[in-house]
Structure 1
Amino acid sequence: MRGLSYLSRFWKREDANATVEFVIVFPIILIVFIAAFETAMLLTRQVMLEKALDGAVRYMRLTSGLSVSHDAIRTNICDNTPLIPDCGNALLLDLRVIDQTTYALPDYQTLCIDRSGTVTPANTFNPGAENQLMLVRACAAVDRILPISGLGLELTRDDTGAVHLMAATIFVNEPD
């Protein structure tokens, strides 16, 4: 009988209420904070990739006699995008001429590279000629900070778990 009395008093005690509330609420607040941080970091990486791509295109347009190569443009972009880890291996570029009779653009979501080096689909790198309308796209594969957060579960990713950041811009090749 004495044990039952002790158990009854244990359930009626209220000195651990704050601890119980903390244990219930703290993980939720922590996940919301980490999801917000992850969102901010991915958006910052996206903005920096777009800005670096625009800077590389500006450099290509304003520099006369420049021989355009995939590696040179990628190096220019990676130098201006410090938040993309292993940028030299994680970034892929696609440069192609836009047909000015149809203005048909390739599917925006299909260009990217996975960690094994496979490009889906095979990209082109055609610097074009004078007065041609050009499309340049960049794709970078980056890791999520916390894969189990709400944002991490909803993002499109490849088989390795990397999230693809995409940026694109259109420009006209200036005459010399």
Structure 2
Amino acid sequence: MTRRLPLRLRLASCLRRFRRREEGVASVEFVVVFPLLMMILFSSVELGVITLRQVMLDRAVDLTVRDIRLGTGGNMQHDTIRDAICARTGLVTTCTQSLRLEMVQLDPFNWAGVDTTPDCIESVEEVNPVTTFINGDSNDLMFLRACMSFSPLFPYWGLGDKLQKDGDGRIRLYAASAFVQEPK
């Protein structure tokens, strides 16, 4: 009759043998490191795309505001301004549906400030009516804010999973500009 070792000694002996073995060492390292490297890669791509979209939105708003301020864009209304911004963003395919503009006139002598929570479209399919859009006259201080929402490239992996999203899983980008309209 053979006497069996206690469970604790058998486990210790099994772990010692496992630790001395060298088969599959590269596989274990690959399984541990590969998901981490992929998460870093996907997060880098996601951050790069978000940064590129933000820069393009800022640039498009700045160029459009310049046209409004100098009066070279004509008498621009909401849809004209939105289309001018969308034509200059480049990378955003659903810009006309996902871009929301807010333009208000400010009184520098009786400062009331601007609402700090931008108004954004909740979904590409829903088109909300314009909430605040006032064209200014000569020498009026105007504030234009654009809010664009879009779906992340990798919504459930890496950075895309950690970003703050709306109810439809879309990320929001904001661009704002204040300007004084030139005299006519």
Place the TM-score, normalised by the shorter chain, in its bin. 0.7 to 0.9
Query: Matches of 2:133 and 2:174 in 1, distance apart?
Result: 17
Are 1:103 and 2:111 an aligned pair? yes
1:145 is the counterpart of 2:153: yes
The corresponding residue for 1:85 is 93
Q: Deviations over 1:85-112 (max 9, x none)?
A: 3001010111110122233322333321
- Amino acid of the residue matched to residue 129 of structure 1? D
Work out whether 1:24 is the aligned partner of 2:36. no
Q: CA RMSD in A?
A: 2.4
Partner residue, 2:182: 174
Q: What does residue 51 of structure 1 align with? A: 59
CA deviations 1:45-79 (Å, max 9, x no partner) are 01110100000011112235822111111111111
Query: Which one is further off, 126-135 or 110-119?
Result: 110-119
Query: Deviation at 1:33?
Result: 1.1
Listed as ranges, the matches of 1:54-65 within 5 Å are 54-63=62-71
CA distance in 1, matches of 2:60, 2:118: 21
Task: Report the alpha carbon displacement of residue 150 of structure 1 after superposing the two structures with TM.
Answer: 4.1
Kindly provide the CA deviation profile for residues 9-68 of structure 1, in whole angstroms up to 9, marking residues without a partner as x: x84531210011001100111001111111111011011101000000111122358221
- State which drifts further: 77-86 or 141-150: 141-150
Give the letter for the 1:117 counterpart.
Answer: E
Among 103, 122, 126, the residue aligned to 1:117: 126
Amino acid at match of 2:143: L
Runs of 4+ in 1 over 3 A off after TM superposition: 10-13
Deviations 1:116-148 (A, max 9, x none): 52659x621101111110000000011111123
Aligned to 2:169: 161
SS at match of 1:160: coil
Q: Which consecutive unaligned segments of at least 5 residues does structure 1 have?
A: 1-7
Aligned to 1:3: none
Residue-pair matches, total: 170
Instruction: Give the TM-score of the pair, scaled to structure 1.
Output: 0.86
The residue that corresponds to 2:5 in the other structure is none
**2:46 alignment counterpart:** 38
